[in-house]
């Protein structure tokens, strides 16, 4: 059974850093495309980043240069390193598996990041 479990969210001051983790089971993270999607309180979904199976990465303009997506094959885990955090980064962050032919077919339960002083 495919499962994605995010951890690492919390309250952080503006300008701070946080690393989110997404532990996967039921499939191998490095063999699939993996993505982060976020949702600000009361708002819609915003795509954040993707890492392809070949390790190419892409980012939304809103996080480019501040966020880094990566994965650890030995831990079968996806990460999102978030630096220089801003109030507008406050959101629930979901990791999701992206299958090229079907879209985001599995999602985690999300982890809340709150950027506030």
Binding mask 57-96 for another protein (x = CB under 8 A): -xxxx--------------------------------x--
9 binds another protein (CB under 8 A): no
Binding mask 16-55 for another protein (x = CB under 8 A): -------------------x-x------xxxx--x-----
- CA dist., res. 8 & res. 67, Å (int): 14
Q: What is the dihedral of CA 39, 44, 49, 51, to 10 degrees?
A: 100
**Among 72, 63, 52, 56, residue whose Cα is nearest residue 91:** 63
Chain contacts with another protein (rule: CB under 8 A): 35, 37, 44-47, 50, 58-61, 94, 98, 101-105, 107-110
């Amino acid at each position: 059974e495919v499962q994605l479990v995010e951890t690492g969210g919390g309250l952080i001051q503006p300008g701070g850093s946080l690393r989110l983790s997404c532990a996967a089971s039921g499939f191998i993270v490095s063999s699939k495309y993996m993505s982060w999607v976020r949702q600000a309180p009361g708002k819609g979904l915003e795509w954040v980043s993707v890492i392809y199976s070949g390790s190419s990465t892409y980012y939304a303009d809103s996080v480019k240069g501040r966020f880094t997506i990566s994965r650890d094959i030995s831990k079968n885990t996806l990460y999102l390193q978030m630096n220089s955090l801003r109030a507008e980064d406050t959101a629930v962050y979901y990791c999701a598996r992206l299958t090229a032919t079907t879209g985001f077919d599995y999602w985690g339960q999300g982890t809340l990041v709150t950027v506030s002083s």
